[in-house]
Amino acid sequence: MRISGAESLVMEALWRQSPRSAEEIAADVAPAQGWTDATVKTLINRLLKKKALEAERDGRRYLYRPKIAREAWAAGETTGLVDRLFDGRLAPLVSHFSKERKLSPEDVAELKRLIAELDP
């Protein structure tokens, strides 16, 4: 499932707290983006069509909640990034980030720990 950058902001709001109404979501994400309520409702409708959200009637309004876990979405996005940019290889990804951004001693220690866990 492909979720755009704008749609991901709506999803993040719902992963933080759900269920929420369209008005509550808009109040959370719209001001920082300069969006109108209509923009947020359009994004919600796109996510409903993609089956990323579900809606339940609550009186005269709907409440929305994610149908996919953030971790599952992040895993798919990460895999897609690694596949597209680094031919599915993790070592070039880590190398790229270590050159572009200074790795902290904590980052290096964590990477070493992860590698040690992978070694039989």
Is 74 within the bounds of a domain?
no
What does the pLDDT read at residue 40?
A: 98
The structure's pTM equals: 0.77
Mean pLDDT to the nearest integer, 23-43: 97
Is 81 within the bounds of a domain?
no
Please indicate, yes or no, whether residues 57 and 98 belong to a single structural domain of this protein: no
Q: Convert the pLDDT of each residue in 53-62 to its tens digit.
A: 999 999 999 9
Is 55 within the bounds of a domain?
yes
Is 71 within the bounds of a domain?
no
Is 62 within the bounds of a domain?
yes
Q: What is the CB neighbour count within 10 angstroms for residue 103?
A: 14
- Listed residue (81, 6, 1) closest to 42, CA to CA: 6
- Verify cis geometry, omega within 30 degrees of 0, for the bond prior to 66: no
- Is residue 33 scored above 90 in pLDDT? yes
Which pLDDT band holds residue 90 (cuts at 50, 70, 90)? confident
Q: What is the span of the domain harbouring residue 58?
A: 5-66
Contact 57, 46 (CB under 8 A): no
Total tally of structural domains belonging to the chain: 2
Give the contacts of 88 (CB within 8 A, at least 6 positions apart). Answer: 82
